[in-house]
Chains A and B, each alone.
Chain A
Amino acid sequence: MPLDDQHTATISRRTVLHAGAGLLGGAILPSFSLAAFAADDKPAIGTWPAGSQGDTVYIGAAVPLTGAYAVQGADELKGWELAVDHINNGHNLIKAIAPKIDKGLLGKKVELVSADSAAKPNQAVEVEQNFINQNKIILMTGSTSSAVAVALNKFAQREKVLYVAGISGSNDTTGKDCVRYGFRQNFFGQTAAAAIGPVLLKQFGKGKKAAFMTPDYTYGHTVTKSVNDYLTENGGWEMVTNQVSPLGTQDFSQYLTNIANSGAEFLINVNWGRDAVLSTQQAKQFGLLPKMTLVIPYQIPFLAKEVGPEITEGVFAATDFWWTQEDQYPLAKQFVEAFQTKYGYRPEWGAENSYVSFAHWARMVSEAGSFYPPDIIKQYEKGETIPSLLGDVHYRPEDHQCIRPVVIVRGKAKKDMKNDEDFWEVLEVVPGEGLMQKPDAFGCQLGDYT
């Protein structure tokens, strides 16, 4: 073999080997790089992945079991408990909302841990912080006071742990205080006002004088503003007085005296929980009811039971759900039956909101196939049409508010009640889309995913 040929051959072989190695390396390297990139793509965040590495994943609820909202809090807690029970047992109802659930969530048992928040924001945050430390919870819930919902929203965003609101009626929860990590299923001030406003104007006409009773925090102020804005702009109603009381007020005599001297024809009571019970009962004591017409723009679970149908008869209210809707909605019927079997009474809307918000979360997790929070958030933000107890709904990606119907009810007379829980007659189910404000109307800026 000539030298040159040998040289050529040697170089040629090396070149081929190099080229082969290069090609092989080139072929292998991208897959290594991609694998390395995938691991870095989901760095640990919040309680992920630690919270979902065991056989059980935990949810933390900070719920008021004492104070002015204790009654509603206990009802909410039952809704969450039932949802968790259904998730773990693959109940037909939860599967109708989240079809990929099969006795647990992504192969893991779900457990609910809860503690009293007393409807106080600082206590609620403390409770959730403990759950994060001790249980590495992957989801937070709780509220019944929007002050708590707003505080937990901010806490969720800071800790990067998802939060689904319990009862929260303030426009701010998915408005100026919205966060990427927070979601709300239930109706709120704006949608309540837009739903009940036309009913009031149709029933009572224009140019009326109304006295408002408002609890002194975000829920009260935003609901009163929304309702008053609607009635003023569309019906020329006048707010003759707005009596603002601190949460937990027991004696409303001074507020009611001001209302008695205001010339109001309507008493629009935005108070909630025990405050609503006491203010309504005392309005009756002072003779304001039935002289004035009572309106409850944001219905309070158990109000009718506590004050009696003598007071709620003929009263218009907006709500999230009323149990007699089981006659129109098959899923509502399943829910009411399951709840009543387990707890011995028919659920109010706090329990309904709890159940549905957990079912929706479970759907998002199972559809995303991941507990990684940004994956779940993005699943919500697809805005897909999904079932609820009252038909199809969807979450708005811009502010994480569920677009869902608002139910208008009127109090029944005692003689018309078919059983001892048949307090309200459903007048109308108003579709949610037309009730919503523009996504940026309340100043929502969601914040970051990571």
Chain B
Amino acid sequence: MINWANFISQCFNGLVTGALLALISSGLTIIYGTLGVLNLAHGAMFMLGGYAGWLAYSYTGSYLAAVAAGSLFVMVVGVVMERLIIRHFYTRPHEDQLLVTFGLGIVFVEAVRFFFGSLSQTVPPPAALAGITNLGFMIYPTYRLALLGIVAVALLVLYFVLYRTRIGMIVRAGIEDSVMVDSLGIDVHRIFMLVFGIGAMAAGFAGIVNAPVVSIAPDVGEAILVQTFVVVVIGGVGSFPGAIIGGLIAGEIISITSMFNPGYSYIMLFVAMTLVLVLRPHGLLGQAGRE
């Protein structure tokens, strides 16, 4: 017998979880789609965003300062990482790219652990978004509700940049065929750097806006990285809308399954991914031939 109040609550949970996964995944999928680099340091960058924001919050007491610091710091880390290391790996085999980004991820995590320890750190939500909201059919943490809006706005901004600006057009063209973009006289390397920075910033932003929900620790990005990959595979590699749909589907699968048996929620997520891979090997919105 389904408890409908619980069912609706879980659908809502799925929406919030899914939105966050969509945001992190969009950064990952843009980088992979454009540069062909599977960034295994993406989870660590999510974590770095949380810590940079937490530090800013410790000094200023401002949530907005924390969000700005978390996003910009990780964008800078992304750009520096691309210039110093990643660009040397564009022409190398995928295995090398995986190893170098995996290694960078470990360095980031252990550096944070070295300086700040493993104890969880908390960034409280702004006062106006603290507490609980009664939605009539359920009560829900106000900040989680706000998070839905915050992530939706962030995704809209990303959409606007990617689909309504010249830079976005070049990036999307780069996703389809970077050699052709290069041959048209566009400095594709500058675009690559920019894409890596934007993708990293998405992870950093997600890391800090999520900090009031899940307190941060050096390993906070590890679990999220696995889910993010599943989202990208379900949505289609390199597809921005795919990342959003994949994120929402993943969030709903996790939440609704847990209503019946929480132990199966992640199993069901992988079952869904397997089904998608069998029925649509390039993901729901992915295209054949796309790197």
Residues of chain A having any CB pair with chain B under 8 Å: 65-68, 70-71, 74, 216, 243-246, 248-251, 253-255, 257-258, 260-261, 274, 277-278, 281-282, 285-287, 302, 305-306
* Neighbour of B17 across the interface among A243, A253, A258, A287, CB < 8 A: A253
| A261 touching B120 in the complex, CB below 8 Å, given contacts A254-B254, A255-B262, A278-B215 | no
Determine if B16 and A243 form an interchain contact, defined as CB atoms under 8 angstroms apart: no
Smallest CB separation, B119 vs chain A (Å): 6
| Chain B residues whose C-beta falls within 8 Å of the C-beta of A278 in the assembled complex | 120, 214-215
Asked if B274 CB lies within 8 Å of chain A CBs, one says no
Chain B, 6-24, contact with A by CB distance < 8 Å: what is the 0/1 string?
1001100110110000000
Determine if B139 and A254 form an interchain contact, defined as CB atoms under 8 angstroms apart: no
Asked if B259 CB lies within 8 Å of chain A CBs, one says yes
Asked if B224 CB lies within 8 Å of chain A CBs, one says yes
Determine if B219 and A70 form an interchain contact, defined as CB atoms under 8 angstroms apart: yes
Give 26 CB contacts A-B under 8 Å.
Answer: A65-B118, A67-B222, A70-B217, A70-B218, A71-B117, A74-B118, A243-B262, A245-B262, A248-B222, A253-B13, A253-B17, A254-B254, A258-B6, A258-B259, A274-B120, A274-B219, A282-B213, A282-B214, A285-B132, A285-B141, A285-B143, A285-B213, A286-B139, A306-B119, A306-B120, A306-B215
| Chain A residues whose C-beta falls within 8 Å of the C-beta of B214 in the assembled complex | 250-251, 278, 282
**Whose C-beta in chain A lies nearest to the C-beta of B14?**
A254
| Chain B residues whose C-beta falls within 8 Å of the C-beta of A71 in the assembled complex | 117-120
Q: A243-B262, A257-B9 are in contact. List 7 more A-B contacts (CB 8 A).
A: A65-B118, A74-B118, A246-B266, A248-B219, A253-B13, A254-B265, A260-B9
| Chain A residues whose C-beta falls within 8 Å of the C-beta of B132 in the assembled complex | 285-287
Smallest CB separation, A270 vs chain B (Å): 14
**Whose C-beta in chain B lies nearest to the C-beta of A245?**
B262
Asked if B255 CB lies within 8 Å of chain A CBs, one says yes
| Chain A residues whose C-beta falls within 8 Å of the C-beta of B219 in the assembled complex | 66-68, 70, 248, 274
How far apart sit A4 and B258, CA to CA, in the bound complex (Å)? 109
Closest 6 CB pairs of A and B: A254-B258, A70-B118, A261-B6, A285-B141, A287-B132, A257-B9
Smallest CB separation, B159 vs chain A (Å): 25
| A261 touching B5 in the complex, CB below 8 Å, given contacts A254-B10, A254-B258 | yes
Interface-central residue, B14, B213, B220, B262, by most chain A CB under 10 Å: B262
Determine if B120 and A248 form an interchain contact, defined as CB atoms under 8 angstroms apart: no
Smallest CB separation, A245 vs chain B (Å): 6
Report the interface size class on chain B.
35 or more
How far apart sit A51 and B140, CA to CA, in the bound complex (Å)? 59
Interface-central residue, B10, B119, B122, B220, by most chain A CB under 10 Å: B119
How far apart sit A277 and B6, CA to CA, in the bound complex (Å)? 24
Determine if B141 and A286 form an interchain contact, defined as CB atoms under 8 angstroms apart: yes
Smallest CB separation, A139 vs chain B (Å): 26
**Whose C-beta in chain A lies nearest to the C-beta of B13?**
A253
Residues of chain B having any CB pair with chain A under 8 Å: 3, 5-6, 9-10, 13-14, 16-17, 109, 113, 117-120, 122, 132, 138-141, 143-144, 213-215, 217-220, 222-224, 254-255, 258-259, 262-263, 265-266
Determine if B213 and A254 form an interchain contact, defined as CB atoms under 8 angstroms apart: no
* Neighbour of A251 across the interface among B17, B109, B122, B138, CB < 8 A: B17
How far apart sit A258 and B13, CA to CA, in the bound complex (Å)? 11
Determine if A274 and B217 form an interchain contact, defined as CB atoms under 8 angstroms apart: yes
Determine if A254 and B13 form an interchain contact, defined as CB atoms under 8 angstroms apart: yes
How far apart sit A65 and B113, CA to CA, in the bound complex (Å)? 10
How far apart sit A220 and B170, CA to CA, in the bound complex (Å)? 52
Smallest CB separation, B258 vs chain A (Å): 4
| Chain B residues whose C-beta falls within 8 Å of the C-beta of A216 in the assembled complex | 263
Determine if A261 and B3 form an interchain contact, defined as CB atoms under 8 angstroms apart: yes
| A277 touching B120 in the complex, CB below 8 Å, given contacts A250-B214, A254-B265 | yes
| Chain A residues whose C-beta falls within 8 Å of the C-beta of B224 in the assembled complex | 250
Smallest CB separation, A231 vs chain B (Å): 22
How far apart sit A23 and B224, CA to CA, in the bound complex (Å)? 83
| Chain B residues whose C-beta falls within 8 Å of the C-beta of A245 in the assembled complex | 262
How far apart sit A121 and B240, CA to CA, in the bound complex (Å)? 38
How far apart sit A74 and B223, CA to CA, in the bound complex (Å)? 21
Determine if A255 and B119 form an interchain contact, defined as CB atoms under 8 angstroms apart: no
Interface-central residue, A74, A250, A261, A287, by most chain B CB under 10 Å: A250
Determine if A257 and B10 form an interchain contact, defined as CB atoms under 8 angstroms apart: yes
**Whose C-beta in chain A lies nearest to the C-beta of B263?**
A244
How far apart sit A255 and B262, CA to CA, in the bound complex (Å)? 7
Determine if B9 and A302 form an interchain contact, defined as CB atoms under 8 angstroms apart: no
Smallest CB separation, A259 vs chain B (Å): 10
Smallest CB separation, A195 vs chain B (Å): 28
| Chain A residues whose C-beta falls within 8 Å of the C-beta of B17 in the assembled complex | 251, 253-254
| Chain B residues whose C-beta falls within 8 Å of the C-beta of A70 in the assembled complex | 113, 118, 217-219
Determine if B119 and A258 form an interchain contact, defined as CB atoms under 8 angstroms apart: no
| Chain A residues whose C-beta falls within 8 Å of the C-beta of B143 in the assembled complex | 285
Smallest CB separation, B270 vs chain A (Å): 13
How far apart sit A65 and B106, CA to CA, in the bound complex (Å)? 13
| Chain B residues whose C-beta falls within 8 Å of the C-beta of A277 in the assembled complex | 120, 215
Interface-central residue, A216, A244, A251, A302, by most chain B CB under 10 Å: A251
How far apart sit A260 and B223, CA to CA, in the bound complex (Å)? 25
| Chain B residues whose C-beta falls within 8 Å of the C-beta of A68 in the assembled complex | 219
| Chain A residues whose C-beta falls within 8 Å of the C-beta of B14 in the assembled complex | 254
How far apart sit A440 and B96, CA to CA, in the bound complex (Å)? 54
| Chain A residues whose C-beta falls within 8 Å of the C-beta of B255 in the assembled complex | 253-254, 257
Interface-central residue, B3, B10, B13, B214, by most chain A CB under 10 Å: B214
Determine if B122 and A281 form an interchain contact, defined as CB atoms under 8 angstroms apart: yes
How far apart sit A428 and B13, CA to CA, in the bound complex (Å)? 41
Determine if A281 and B139 form an interchain contact, defined as CB atoms under 8 angstroms apart: no
**Whose C-beta in chain B lies nearest to the C-beta of A246?**
B266
**Whose C-beta in chain B lies nearest to the C-beta of A256?**
B13
| Chain B residues whose C-beta falls within 8 Å of the C-beta of A250 in the assembled complex | 214, 220, 223-224
| Chain B residues whose C-beta falls within 8 Å of the C-beta of A65 in the assembled complex | 118
| A253 touching B16 in the complex, CB below 8 Å, given contacts A245-B262, A274-B217, A281-B122 | yes
Determine if A255 and B258 form an interchain contact, defined as CB atoms under 8 angstroms apart: yes
**Whose C-beta in chain B lies nearest to the C-beta of A73?**
B118
How far apart sit A302 and B121, CA to CA, in the bound complex (Å)? 12
How far apart sit A13 and B37, CA to CA, in the bound complex (Å)? 100
| Chain A residues whose C-beta falls within 8 Å of the C-beta of B6 in the assembled complex | 257-258, 261
How far apart sit A287 and B141, CA to CA, in the bound complex (Å)? 8
How far apart sit A67 and B218, CA to CA, in the bound complex (Å)? 8
